[in-house]
Chains A and B, each alone.
Chain A
Amino acid sequence: MSYLNIYLYFSIVLLAVGVYGLLSRKSWAKVLISLEIIVFSALVLLALVLLYSNYLGIYVGQTFLILLIFLDSSMTGILLACILLVYRRFRARSIDDMSRLRG
């Protein structure tokens, strides 16, 4: 077993940690941290599967990784804007307060 396999298992554990945080926490910051952890676990998995795959070239993997990194940053920006707006309008301080948005 090479060290790449260890990173493969490490990405699964990271995904589990992120899912745990997403399901058990309610404050905005913790939810965002959990989302970031999930995205980083996907990043590790993509880095391993795409960069070291025999079927795809190295540069295809790099392109996918760049795409994921930028998508992650834009997702965080949009989430922050939405949360700021919800906070200003409803004074919602956690996910539970968002139930007011139900149609």
Chain B
Amino acid sequence: MIDILISVLIGVAAVISALMAIEEKRASRSLLFFVFFAVCLTGFMIHSRLLALALMTLALSLGSFAFIAVLYSLSSEEKDYKRVRGAVVAVILAIALFTAIGRIGSLSQPPETILGLHESAIPLILAHGIFILALALSLRVIMKEGERA
């Protein structure tokens, strides 16, 4: 019962903060809601007993937060919204997915002790670290080429 209560709380908080991050006009508040959304996601991971992945999610979503903060200085203020079109498409999509997902039976309880990553995942993380490094270098090349052009 407590598990269900916590999951409902985390779900509602995440959905509301995601909506507010999109709807809020002031950049600072929008970013704040995005951070709260990331914290809710981390809460979901911890509640599902995935501590290592929760920390990774939090770190990387805070990285995205930095990117979005940079982008806010480049964005213009919005005046005309297409709310109705977006809302209609989103509701239709959600209803279709709810119908499809409704066929899935009740999920079993997760195993009790999944707190860390398996040893075999460590080389994968290192490989991804190298990948991210290569990405950073290629971004630098892209930026330099763009400046030259």
**What residues of chain B lie closer than 8 Å to A13, measured between beta carbons?**
11, 15, 94
Residue of A nearest to B79 (CB): A26
Contact check, B120 vs A17: say whether CB atoms are below 8 A apart. Answer: no
B-contacting residues, A1-50, CB 8 Å: 1-10, 12-30, 32-34, 36-37, 40, 43-44, 47-48
- Chain B, interface size: which category? 35 or more
- Chain A, interface size: which category? 35 or more
Q: How far is the CB of A30 from chain B (nearest CB, A)?
A: 6
**What residues of chain A lie closer than 8 Å to B57, measured between beta carbons?**
43, 69
Given contacts A10-B15, A25-B22, A29-B71, contact A77 B128 (CB under 8 A): no
Q: With contacts defined as CB atoms under 8 Å apart, how many contacts are there between chain A and chain B in the complex?
A: 230
Q: Scoring B residues 57 to 101 as 1 if CB is less than 8 Å from chain A, else 0, what string do you get?
A: 100110110011011101111100111011101110110011001
Q: How far is the CB of B8 from chain A (nearest CB, A)?
A: 6
Q: For A3, A10, A32, A80, which residue has the most chain B Cβ atoms within 10 angstroms?
A: A3
**What residues of chain A lie closer than 8 Å to B64, measured between beta carbons?**
32, 36, 72-73, 76
A-contacting residues, B85-133, CB 8 Å: 85-87, 89-91, 93-94, 97-98, 101, 104, 106-111, 114, 117-118, 120-121, 124-125, 128, 131-132
Q: How far is the CB of B113 from chain A (nearest CB, A)?
A: 10
Complex CA distance for A72 and B56, rounded to whole angstroms: 12
Contact check, B7 vs A80: say whether CB atoms are below 8 A apart. Answer: no
Complex CA distance for A5 and B108, rounded to whole angstroms: 9
Contact check, A81 vs B143: say whether CB atoms are below 8 A apart. Answer: yes
Residue of A nearest to B143 (CB): A81
Contact check, B107 vs A84: say whether CB atoms are below 8 A apart. Answer: no
Q: For B22, B34, B70, which residue has the most chain A Cβ atoms within 10 angstroms?
A: B22
Q: Scoring B residues 1 to 22 as 1 if CB is less than 8 Å from chain A, else 0, what string do you get?
A: 0011011101100110011011
| A-B pairs with lowest CB-CB distance, top 5 | A24-B86, A23-B86, A10-B11, A93-B76, A27-B75
A positions within 8 Å CB-CB of B: 1-10, 12-30, 32-34, 36-37, 40, 43-44, 47-48, 51-52, 54, 58-59, 62-63, 65-67, 69-70, 72-74, 76-85, 87-89, 93-94
